[in-house]
Chains A and B, each alone.
Chain A
Amino acid sequence: MTAFWILAPVMVIAALGILFVRKAVHAALLLAVVMMSLAVLYAALEAPFLFAVQIIVYTGAILMLFLFVVMLVGVDASDSVVETIRGQRVLAAIAGLALGLVLVLGLGQISLGTAVGLENANSGGNIESLANILFSRYVFAFETTSALLITAAVGAMVLAHRERLTPKATQASMAAQRVKDYAERGTHLGPLPPPGVYARHNAVDTPALLPDGTAAESSVSRVLAARGTVRSAPARAEDIEQIRGQIGDAPHAGRDAVAPATTTEAAPATGEDDSE
C-alpha cells in the first residue's frame, strides 16, 4: 500500500492539472504522469503483464500519437476562454463534484472484505495464466479484436490520406514562377532576408531592420507572426536603457563613449546601430 499512498496524490494532482493547463502539450505530459503511476499500481496489484502493457501501449504508443498530433495541429492551439453555452463550466463543475461525491461516498461505504489475492491464479506465472484464459474462454473476443484493429488502421489511413490533385512542383517550375512573379508584381527574386543579428540579442523572433529603422516583416517566420511572439528590436534597445538606469548610472569608460549616441537619438536609430 505504500506505493498507493505515494502515487495516489500524485495521480490526482496530475489529473486535476489536465483540467487547468492551457496548453495541450502540458496536458499530454501530465497524462503521461498519470499513466506511469497507473502502471506502478498495476504492478502492486499483482498484474505484471498489464504493468508492461500499460507502459508500452499507453505511455509508449498512445501518448506518442497524442504528441504527434499536438505537434501537427500546432503547439499553440490552446483553449479559448469564451463559453459558447453560458454557465456551462460552472454546471459541469457542479455535476462533476456531485458525481465524485456519489462515487467516493458510495464506494467508501461498501465493504468489500479482504481481497482474495492472486497467488492462486498467478501460481503458474501471470502471463501463462492470462494466456490460458485469453486463448480458451475469451478466444472469440480476441479474434474479434484483430478485426477491430485492422479496421482502425485502414480507417486512419483513409482519413489521413490526401489525394494529390495537381502535379508536384519541381525546382525548375518554382524558379519559373518566381521570375513570373517578379515580372508581373515586382516580387523580390532572391531569398527572404534573415532575421536581425544584433550585438546584444540574436534570435529568429527578432526582425531585421531596414535602413530607415522599420522592421523587415519578411525576415521572421510567418508562424511566429501568427502566434504574436515577434519581438521588436527598438523595444529591446529601450529595455537595455531601462535596465541600465535601474542598475545605477555607473557605466564604464568604453560604454560612456557609446551611451550618449544611443540615448540622444530615437529608439529606431539605436536598433540600426546594433544591427551593424
Chain B
Amino acid sequence: MNVTAYVVLSGILFTIGCVGVLTRRNAIVVFMCVELMLNASNLALVAFARQHGNLDGQIAAFFVMVVAAAEVVVGLAIIMTIFRTRRSASVDDASLLKY
C-alpha cells in the first residue's frame, strides 16, 4: 500500500488551513485553522511512519498533539482576555500596537 495519497491529502488540508488563517477575521476561527494545519502535519507524520516502518513518526505526532493542546489553552485564554477588554474577537480590532 502506498502512502502518497495520504501525504497529498495532508498537503491539501494544510493549504486549506493556511488560506483560512489568511482570510478569516474571527480570532477563534483563525485558531481553528491553525489546528487544521497541525492536524494535517500529523497525518503526514503518521503516514511517513508507516512508509518507513518505524514508530518515530507516531511519537512526533504525539508530541505535536501535546504542544497543540498547550497552545490552544493559552491562545484561547488570550482571546478571552482580549474579548473581555475590547468586546471583540476580531483580529483586526487588536491593532493598538501599530501606532
Contacts and interface: CB of A to CB of B under 8 A. Distances in A.
Interface of A: 1, 4, 8, 11-12, 15-16, 18-19, 24, 27-28, 31, 34-35, 38, 41-42, 45-47, 49-50, 53-54, 57-58, 61-62, 65-66, 69-70, 72-74, 77-80, 84, 88-89, 92-93, 95-96, 99-100, 103-104, 107-108, 110-112, 114-118, 120-122, 126, 129-130, 133-134, 138, 141, 145, 148-149, 151-153, 155-156, 159-160, 162
Contacts, number: 235
B20 A19 contact: yes
Interface string B29-63: 10111011001001100110111111110110111
Contacts of B59: 130, 133-134, 138
B63 A141 contact: yes
7 contacts: A4-B9, A15-B36, A61-B69, A72-B83, A121-B54, A145-B63, A156-B74
A84 B23 CA distance: 11
Nearest to B16: A15
Contact of B74 (A99, A100, A111, A152): A152
Given A15-B13, A19-B16, A62-B72, A24 B2 contact: no
Nearest to A78: B26
A79 B29 contact: yes
Interface residues of B, number: 71
Contact of B6 (A4, A49, A73, A117): A4
Interface centre among B6, B18, B19 (most CB of A within 10 A): B19
A93 B50 CA distance: 33
A3 to B, nearest CB: 11
* Residues of B contacting A: mostly: helix
Given A53-B62, A159-B74, A162-B84, 14 more contacts: A15-B16, A18-B36, A31-B35, A31-B36, A61-B69, A62-B35, A65-B76, A88-B23, A89-B23, A95-B19, A117-B53, A118-B53, A152-B71, A155-B77
